[in-house]
Structure 1
Amino acid sequence: MPSSLSRALESYPNRFDPSVLSALPEHLQETIRRRNEVLGPGYALNYREPVEFVSGHGAHLIDRDGNDYLDAYNNVPCVGHAHPRVVEAVSKQMAAVNTNTRYVQESLVDYAERLLATFPEGLSKLSLACSGSEANDLAVRVARYHTGGEGIIVTRWAYHGLTREVASFSPTLGKGSPLGPNVRLIDPPDPRLAAPGSTLAEHMRKQVRDAIDDLERHGYRLAALVTDCAYSSDGIFTDPVGYMTGVVEEVHAAGGVYIADEVQSGFARLGDSMWGFSRHGVVPDIVTMGKPMGNGLPISGVVFRPEVCEEFGRNVRYFNTFAGSSIPVAAGAAVLDVFEEENVQQRVLENGTALRAGLEGITHGSPYVAEVRGSGLYVAVEIVQDPESLEPDRARAEDVINDMRHRRVLISGTAKGNNVLKIRPPLAFTSADVTRFLETFAEVAKDRLQAG
């Protein structure tokens, strides 16, 4: 394998190694060869043996041979693959008209009012985009305009998007994608990183204060702290809650704003609240969202405190051709309908609690599992070489991921060491899905996570 490809594979968890293409079934080989001929650089396939799907429903995906896979990984179709409510709404709108925000759309206004009603008072202005990357790009652009600063603070292995601007503060993209000189990194909220005698809240506050000081020492005034409220790429850290109050105080004291990236943690993913930041008792200045917003349609959003975006709106034109057009808005409204009709948040809370409890039971006493953590239907299982050093065990984690895939259950990996199992199903995950998942995981754990 070329060294450049080796480095690329090293930076991504759970990726197919193209050097073993000849070992795959003939049809997969041919399709992947054709894919490699026509797609640009940077694309990758999941799993040691990639899989092709032709349909889906709920938290299930069906391959071309009719095999049913339990999807415990994909968060974009949040209310379920091919949900009939979303399909109907999009089809109906597609058959009528698809206009943009330069025309009056009552459906757009209705949707914005409904979405903003899920936020705390004070977060009352919505701008729409097409992807999480675009949402974060706009959020930082507005933050800079509002504060006059350039400095950005993010966690050490964060991912916030792929535009040139957002990639400059997405360290998980690896060495081939350099960070900006105006970017400073802090620890994720892992209680194990706090110094003896220090609380997590004290540790996080000191991290932010030191980052602000270093930015100022190098001539950068703070623009924003940006956090993914589930710390997905850092390894998934959703608890304990409460440490953000002091962090936000430090940011505001330095003249910056707090941007809560809810692309991963939003839309009740964490179970006990609609938005991840709400669990910590803080109200951000800017909130970004994407992925699940349209159940797979390209729609994302940025919600502002009015005073943060007011001057930008007066002086800078923002128009995005496809953002806020009728079809994605219809999908977004249908997602909100499903949340109300199916009591999605309660389902997430109940099934997430059962999922974590089952995983804790299965892995109890394993010398290779440091921790089961998470909230709602966002769960992490940290795989290590031994429980004392906590040295990441990427190979064992990837064995578990691929053993699950061969038993037709889909998960993936995360964290800098690629050693944390990422379990993040559609929110359509049912109690029966939890049972199937745990039964399959228990089979894999016997081979991969027991001593001996």
Structure 2
Amino acid sequence: MNKVDVAQRGKMVNAFDPANVTGLNEKARTLIQRRSALLGPAYRLFYNDPVEVKRGKGVILYDSEGNEYLDAYNNVVSVGHCHPRVVEATSEQLRTLCTHTRYVQEGILNYAEDLLGTFGGKIQHVMFTCTGSEANDLALRIAKHQTGKDGIIITEEAYHGNSDLVAGLSPSLGPHSPLGTWVRRIPAPDSYRVPIETIGQWMADQVSAQIHDLERRGQGLAAFIADSLFSSDGIFAHPTNLFGPVIDVVHKAGGLFIADEVQSGFGRTGEKLWGYQRHDIAPDIVTMGKPMGNGFPVAAVALAPEVVQGFGRDVRYFNTFGGNTVAIAAAQAVLDVIRDEKLMENANRIGKLIRDGFTELAKRHEQIGDVRGAGLYVGVELVRNRNTKEPDSAAASAIINGLRARRILISATGAAANTLKIRPPLVFSEGHVDRLLSEAKAVLNSL
């Protein structure tokens, strides 16, 4: 096996190379070597110089020596690390009761009612899981049962989870993580390269072609599933009318439209609570996870009654930890904080400041080809040449690791890993933006 083959196996964007451990200080070497020995070879770390974290508060992480890092990457803790209201809610519930959903409990009903009220359209039921992977797995099981078909269509570099089923439709896991034979991929709606005025119909045509192929092979279409920010494809937030033509094509073929809101939900876009709502569509199924419990493992599938009726008749559903009393307490606290602290509005305002700041930097740095995103999910694409738009993954890596050296944490995304991925907690402030942009300017000047 040559070096290229080795490098491609199990690849991860912005991953630490264990072969470079000799360049680290003694403490870091010891911890990383111990980690490898205990956790095995499949785990990955970020950055050329991995970050040790000891505690966190708001948008700041601290290592064991008290050094602080500005966290402009973690969307899991959407309302900030160790938010006191979430800590209090989960602690109080843990002191009271932690049990599963086979007992009658009012808390889960109150939260379900509250959550369902945010969707509109035809969504009326919610089923709880622990992770986004489980949520997408369950959603696809239901879609296959409802349609009697197997085919799933995804975008080219999608990530939908790590169970056996959803890893089989997560090409971003790398070329050696096999996709299901029932999976078809379409290109992402690359608004930097595809004419924006025709991108919706262009995407619908791509979906139609893959539906035709699935039908020719006797599999048919069970579902089209997409994250409306196309987070793993490179972050494409506009235009906001591209899903209309796609959902029409999907429904005409008898398939279901699944909105994967694990990345783009809970106010992340700043415009709507759910990313798909920016596109003015009504999905059949909505999945969510990650930020739902601010780090506590809770996720869910919300769906239209007719979608789950047959599944509920034929297959019982139970999840020992999904929707347990502590998980629901965490989820309720997060939803309350997002509304009470007006974090969706904050995401809209602060995200614009970040995008405007990088757009200004682009005037002086030719490597920045495109700045895009919505709310507090920002993509900054690095290119070798603005005319050819050739991706520059080396520049992206240099900026990410340059910022890490200045204790600013971001990462990368896209098939070429050339787009900076900036998605801080929703409590990011103007002062944090100033620090991010100031350090980004310094790193860009040093390239």
Please tell me the residue identity of whatever aligns with 1:141: R
SS of the equivalent of 1:95 reads helix
Task: State, as a whole percentage, how many aligned pairs show the same letter.
Answer: 48
Which residue matches 2:347? Answer: 348
Counterparts of 1:380 and 1:192, CA distance in 2? 11
> Is 1:92–2:92 an aligned residue pair?
yes
Structure 2 residue ranges without an equivalent (≥5): none
Report the alpha carbon displacement of residue 5 of structure 1 after superposing the two structures with TM.
Answer: 4.7
Counterparts of 1:246 and 1:36, CA distance in 2? 48
TM-score (norm 1): 0.96
Report the alpha carbon displacement of residue 169 of structure 1 after superposing the two structures with TM.
Answer: 0.9
Instruction: Name whichever of 356-365 and 407-416 sits farther off.
Output: 356-365
TM alignment of 1:361-440, pairs within 5 A: 361-440=360-439
Please tell me the residue identity of whatever aligns with 1:252: H
TM-score (norm 2): 0.97
Counterparts of 2:401 and 2:230, CA distance in 1? 24
Please tell me the residue identity of whatever aligns with 1:65: E
SS of the equivalent of 2:391 reads coil
TM alignment of 1:316-327, pairs within 5 A: 316-327=315-326
8 Å CA contact retained: 2:365, 2:444: no
Q: Deviations over 1:218-248 (max 9, x none)?
A: 1111000000111011000011111111110
TM alignment of 1:35-184, pairs within 5 A: 35-184=35-184
8 Å CA contact retained: 1:379, 1:422: yes
Report the alpha carbon displacement of residue 28 of structure 1 after superposing the two structures with TM.
Answer: 1.1
Counterparts of 1:222 and 1:340, CA distance in 2? 37
Report the alpha carbon displacement of residue 2 of structure 1 after superposing the two structures with TM.
Answer: 8.5
Q: Deviations over 1:277-331 (max 9, x none)?
A: 0000101000000000000001000000111011101110110100000111110
8 Å CA contact retained: 1:271, 1:348: yes
8 Å CA contact retained: 1:12, 1:418: no
Counterparts of 2:293 and 2:210, CA distance in 1? 36
Which residue matches 2:8? Answer: 7
SS of the equivalent of 1:199 reads helix
Report the alpha carbon displacement of residue 188 of structure 1 after superposing the two structures with TM.
Answer: 1.1
Report the alpha carbon displacement of residue 190 of structure 1 after superposing the two structures with TM.
Answer: 1.5
Please tell me the residue identity of whatever aligns with 2:367: Y
Q: Deviations over 1:369-427 (max 9, x none)?
A: 11000000000010111112222111111000000001110000110101110001011
Gap change, CA 1:392 and 1:193, over 3 Å in 2: closer
SS of the equivalent of 1:233 reads coil
Counterparts of 1:363 and 1:67, CA distance in 2? 30
Counterparts of 2:177 and 2:378, CA distance in 1? 28
TM alignment of 1:278-317, pairs within 5 A: 278-317=277-316
SS of the equivalent of 2:109 reads helix
Report the alpha carbon displacement of residue 8 of structure 1 after superposing the two structures with TM.
Answer: 3.2
Q: Deviations over 1:41-74 (max 9, x none)?
A: 3101100001111111111111111111100001
Report the alpha carbon displacement of residue 366 of structure 1 after superposing the two structures with TM.
Answer: 2.5
Q: Deviations over 1:431-451 (max 9, x none)?
A: 111111111111112123xxx
Q: Deviations over 1:11-36 (max 9, x none)?
A: 31111111111221111111111111
Which residue matches 1:201? Answer: 200
SS of the equivalent of 2:56 reads strand
8 Å CA contact retained: 2:362, 2:369: no
Instruction: Name whichever of 80-89 and 431-440 sits farther off.
Output: 431-440
Report the alpha carbon displacement of residue 192 of structure 1 after superposing the two structures with TM.
Answer: 4.7
Report the alpha carbon displacement of residue 193 of structure 1 after superposing the two structures with TM.
Answer: 4.7
8 Å CA contact retained: 1:161, 1:170: yes
TM alignment of 1:144-293, pairs within 5 A: 144-194=144-194, 199-293=198-292
Structure 1 residue ranges without an equivalent (≥5): none
Report the alpha carbon displacement of residue 340 of structure 1 after superposing the two structures with TM.
Answer: 2.1
SS of the equivalent of 1:154 reads strand
Report the alpha carbon displacement of residue 40 of structure 1 after superposing the two structures with TM.
Answer: 2.9
Counterparts of 2:104 and 2:197, CA distance in 1? 54
Count of equivalent residues: 446
CA RMSD, 1 decimal: 1.5
Report the alpha carbon displacement of residue 189 of structure 1 after superposing the two structures with TM.
Answer: 1.3
8 Å CA contact retained: 1:363, 1:445: no
Gap change, CA 1:330 and 1:2, over 3 Å in 2: farther
Report the alpha carbon displacement of residue 191 of structure 1 after superposing the two structures with TM.
Answer: 3.1
Counterparts of 2:118 and 2:200, CA distance in 1? 27
SS of the equivalent of 2:9 reads helix
Please tell me the residue identity of whatever aligns with 1:22: T
**Structure 1 consecutive aligned stretches of length 4 or more whose deviation exceeds 4 Å:** 1-5
8 Å CA contact retained: 1:146, 1:312: yes
8 Å CA contact retained: 2:350, 2:429: yes
Counterparts of 1:209 and 1:107, CA distance in 2? 43
Counterparts of 1:411 and 1:100, CA distance in 2? 37
Which residue matches 2:28? Answer: 28
Please tell me the residue identity of whatever aligns with 2:78: C
